Amino acid sequence: MTEPTRRTSELAALSHELRNALACIHQFGNILIDGLAGELSGEQREYIGIMLENASKIRRVLDSALDGAPEPIEKCLNKIERASGRET
């Protein structure tokens, strides 16, 4: 494996690991904020909000440094729209 290829592979693995960890923080933070695990006090909501905001910052850094900006929802769904044959 050449050095650039090895480096690319390492960065892809790093991105994958960070994205899985961020996904867990994001998922459970939102589960708490949405009250799916019980009602929160105002102070608890504020602190989880801070946690989520900072997780989003890490995501943006990751997007810009490694993978590019996230795809818009329309692009994620294009196969569905194509399959339906109609615009929504």
Partner 1 sequence: MDRTRILVVDDNPTIRKGLSVRLRANGYEVLFAEDAISATAALVTERPDLVILDLGLPCGDGFVVMERLHKNDSLANIPVIVLTGRELAGNRERALQAGAAAVFQKPVEDGNLLFAVRKALDNSRGELRFDD
Q: Which is nearer to partner 1, 1 or 73 (CB)?
A: 73
* One residue of 6, 10, 31, 50 binding partner 1 per CB under 8 A: 31
Per CB under 8 A, does 9 bind partner 1? no
> Angle CA(18)–CA(64)–CA(33) in degrees, nearest 5?
55
CA 32/CA 86 separation, integer angstroms: 37
The secondary structure of 16-63 as a DSSP string is HHHHHHHHHHHHHHHHHHTTBTB---HHHHHHHHHHHHHHHHHHHHHI
Per CB under 8 A, does 24 bind partner 1? yes
Per CB under 8 A, does 20 bind partner 1? yes
Residues lying near partner 1 in the complex (CB under 8 A) are found at: 12, 15-17, 19-20, 22-28, 30-31, 34, 36-37, 55, 59, 66-68, 70-71, 73, 76-80, 83-84, 86, 88
